[in-house]
Amino acid sequence: MEIQNKIALITGVSKGIGRATAIELIERGAVVVGWGRNRPDIEHANFHFFECDVRFPEQIDRALEQTVAAVGNQIRILVNNAGLGRAGAVDEQSIDEWKLMFDTNVHGMFFVTRKIVPLMKEIGEGHIVNIASIAGTNGIEMMSGYCGTKHAVRGMSHSWMKELRNDGIKVTAIYPGSTQTEFFVDIPGIDAHDHMMRPEDIAQSIAEVVHTHGNYLAVDLEIRPLKPKG
């Protein structure tokens, strides 16, 4: 799909991979709509921000109404990036933290996608990029809740890919390894460092996956730092 002049919707745009992806797609000529809890420091004529917490369907409905009023309903790119993680042992993690991860990473992704897919079906074209994680391919000690959500993202992505491909809609799951984002602020004992990947590199990969021939579909893309320990 040509990115130039296409409308792209990105969730979790406030920081990290979401913010970097917004900047990358804007630079490639897209009209970018960002949804998030806080506005990022992006000022550009082709960037529109609407406050939205994807855990709440009513906020998604409102943000979509605002989006359509601002740029129209021809949304061809959706990057489901909103997500978070909390560490905790299975017998110690709070129920509230567990629900927060699933409500954001899993239910929120479903809530957003179910509203955008009908618009893509009307166009007969679209690309949904779901940001999973290496944690969606294996288990990690003290991270069972987060791993569980990202395994769910993988299963949802594969199912949607088979369901929507004949409607001209691509679905790609991306599995980044350790990346320099604010994610680690809430993970005790781990701090972001220069041996992790840069959000800008993940954003470039997302743009390259979207900017492909119409009959080419990347289903899974695993991305890791070359030397994670330096």
The DSSP H or E segment spanning 101 is helix 95-102
127 has which bridge partners?
77, 170
138, 141, 143, 147: CA torsion to nearest 10: 10
Is residue 146 among the annotated active site residues?
yes
Q: Determine phi and psi for 229, rounding to 5 degrees.
A: -110, 10
Q: Which of 49, 98, 146, 175 is catalytic?
A: 146
CB 70 within 8 A of CB 48: yes
Radius of gyration of the chain (CA): 17
Known catalytic residues are: 146
